[in-house]
Amino acid sequence: MNDARLSLSFDGPVAHLRLCRAEKLNALDADMIEALLSICRQIDRSNARVAIVTGEGKAFCAGGDIAAWSDLSPQDFGSRWLRDGHQAFDALARLRQPLIAVLNGHCLGGGLELAACADLRIAEAHVKLALPETGLGIIPGWSGTQRASRRFGAQLIRRMAILGEVFTADQALALGLVDQVVPTGQGMDAALVVAARVSARSPRATEITKQLINAAEGEDRERTLEMLAGALVAGSDDLAEGLSAYREKRQPRFGGKD
């Protein structure tokens, strides 16, 4: 699915994902969520070695568009809005390429949940980060209590989601919410420097290392285990013998060699 409010482009080894709904502070609606899932597949299957996500205008992402979910029935809110958001954000967090989030503007609610999907976060100096959902009578529903707690620490998320604390970029750096703070307007330049460092390293080793770190956090552990084990077995002589025996309609003679 295509959506003009999400832009994907490639520049050499770097995939650029941009939220292009500046008039709504890059708030996400149902169509954008569906398009994000499709874009993640494109990035994952591309030759890109690293990906960068940022927002257009004065916000990184203001989260879910209230107009998109406020009139949904409780059933549709849970089974469609939250489920579809989880699927898209899971795909973003589980990209095989390292993901850099450039927080070029405020990062609120679902926007912070989106930023939590990234491997590295670069914040411009004016940025504020918050999880304001409980002030609206709702919860952080796109893994703000789960993935964000694993990546940033549960106590910090308690302060944001239960107490409603809002952090500046410098506070976020000290607390581990972001990895780097740069002057306003310099976020993308800083991200490109980081992207070049990542791209210069072994892409296969980097990909597997990311998967293992994700698994250590509980992110997609089962798939990671089976994917790495499957790749190991797929390169063995036993597989070649098994396939030959199948095609020749005979019993395989496994040697147990690599």
1 belongs to a structural domain:
no
98 belongs to a structural domain:
yes
Q: Are 13 and 88 within one domain?
A: yes
pLDDT in tens, 150-184: 999 999 999 999 999 999 999 999 999 999 999 99
Q: Are 243 and 179 within one domain?
A: no
**Cross-sheet strand order for the sheet of 50-55:** 6-11, 14-19, 50-55, 99-103, 120-124, 180-182
Q: Are 26 and 119 within one domain?
A: yes
- 4-25 in b/e form (b: 16+ CB < 10 A) is ebbebeeeebbbbbbbebeebb
254 belongs to a structural domain:
no
d(CA 241, CA 90): 37
- pLDDT reported for residue 213: 94
258 belongs to a structural domain:
no
Q: Are 76 and 116 within one domain?
A: yes
Beta-strand relationship, 120-124 and 128-130: unpaired
Q: Are 118 and 213 within one domain?
A: no
> Which of the four pLDDT bands, split at 50, 70 and 90, describes residue 257?
low
- Average pLDDT rounded to a whole number, residues 251-257: 82
Q: Are 169 and 211 within one domain?
A: no
188 belongs to a structural domain:
yes
> Which of the four pLDDT bands, split at 50, 70 and 90, describes residue 204?
very high
Q: Which of 23, 34, 56, 113 is catalytic?
A: 113
Residue among 223, 233, 112, 108 at smallest CA distance from 178: 112
Q: Are 140 and 157 within one domain?
A: yes
pLDDT in tens, 18-59: 999 999 999 999 999 999 999 999 999 999 999 999 999 999
pLDDT at 6 over 80: yes
Q: Are 195 and 219 within one domain?
A: no
- Average pLDDT rounded to a whole number, residues 191-208: 96
Q: Are 180 and 212 within one domain?
A: no
pLDDT in tens, 76-134: 888 888 999 999 999 999 999 999 999 999 999 999 999 999 999 999 999 999 999 99
Q: Are 141 and 208 within one domain?
A: no
- Average pLDDT rounded to a whole number, residues 231-244: 82
51 belongs to a structural domain:
yes
- pLDDT reported for residue 88: 95
| Annotated catalytic residue 56 | no
Which of these three, 158, 181, 199, is where a domain ends? 199
pLDDT at 223 over 80: no
87 belongs to a structural domain:
yes
Q: Are 191 and 215 within one domain?
A: no
pLDDT at 16 over 70: yes
| Annotated catalytic residue 133 | yes
pLDDT at 1 over 90: no
d(CA 123, CA 108): 13
pLDDT in tens, 49-87: 999 999 999 999 999 988 888 888 888 888 888 999 999
Per the structure, how many domains does the chain have?
2
The CA-based dihedral angle spanning residues 156, 157, 161, 165, taken in that order and rounded to the nearest 10 degrees: 30
Q: Are 181 and 94 within one domain?
A: yes
Runs of H (alpha helix) within 58-139: 66-69, 74-76, 83-93, 110-115
Q: Which of 18-22, 86-90, 213-217, 223-227 has the lowest mean pLDDT?
A: 223-227
> Number of C-alpha atoms within 13 angstroms, CB side, residue 118?
25
Q: What is the CATH number of the domain that holds 139?
A: 3.90.226.10
Quote the domain boundaries for residue 59. Answer: 6-199
Could you tell me which residue, 7 or 74, shows the higher pLDDT?
7
Q: Which of 133, 222, 226, 248 is catalytic?
A: 133
80 belongs to a structural domain:
yes
What pTM did the predictor assign? Answer: 0.91
